[in-house]
Structure 1
Amino acid sequence: MSDSDSSPRIGQFVSITQGRDAGQYAIIIRILDERFVLIADGDKRKYDKPKKKNINHLELFEDVSPEVQSSISESGRVTNGKLRFAVTKFVNEQITDLEKGELIDGERRCN
C-alpha cells in the first residue's frame, strides 16, 4: 500500500470499486475518519448529498484537484459545476494516457 492509499486527501480523485456506483469516478470532499470519506462528482452525487464510502472500496489516485482543494479550504464548499469539470477533465486525461500506451499495473499496454 502506498502513502496515497493510506491517507486520503480532500480533492483527491478516486475510482469506486465496490457498490452500486462501481466503475465511476469521484472526488473526496471530506474525510470523516481513518476509514470513511465523503465523495461527490457534481452530477449523480452532488456536493450537498455526498456518498459516504469506506476507503477500502475506493481506488485512490495520486492526482488531486487544486481547484476543488482550494475552494473547500477557502469557503468550506465547492460548486457542483467545479466538481463535474474536474472529474471530466481527469477522466479524459486518464483515457488519453491509456490510449497512448501508458503503464497499466506495471505492464505496457499494446494497441
Structure 2
Amino acid sequence: MTSGDELLKVLATLANPHRLRVLAALSGERNYVSRLARELGISRPLLQVHLRKLEAAGLVTGRAEVSEDGKAMKFYEVNPFTIELTPQAIEVAVRTLTVPEEKKGDV
C-alpha cells in the first residue's frame, strides 16, 4: 500500500513531460545516461536531474558499471510499479498524509 506522502511524491515526479519521456524510453530496456540523453535530445546534466528525481521516487534504479574499454557508465532501468488512482485509493492515502502544522495567521 502506498502512503499519502509516497503517492504525492510519485505524482509530483510524474508531473513533468521530460520525466514521462525518460520512463517511456526506459520501459523497454535499460540504458546508459549518454545514449539516453542523445535519444531524448536533452543534455546529460538535465537528464541526470530528472533521473535523480525518478530514482528518489522509486520509479527507476541506477547502477554504475565499467565497460569493456574501462569507462564508467551509469545504467538506469524502470522499477515495476502500478499506481491505482481511484477516489477510494485517494481516500485511503489521505489518511496517512503528513500535514504540516498551520502557521499563525494562515487562512
* TM-score scaled by length of structure 1: 0.28
Query: Which structure's residues are more often strand, by fraction?
Result: 1
Higher helix share: 2
Greater radius of gyration (CA) = 2
Normalization by structure 2: what TM-score? 0.29
| Larger RCO: 1 or 2 (CA < 8 Å, sep 6+) | 2
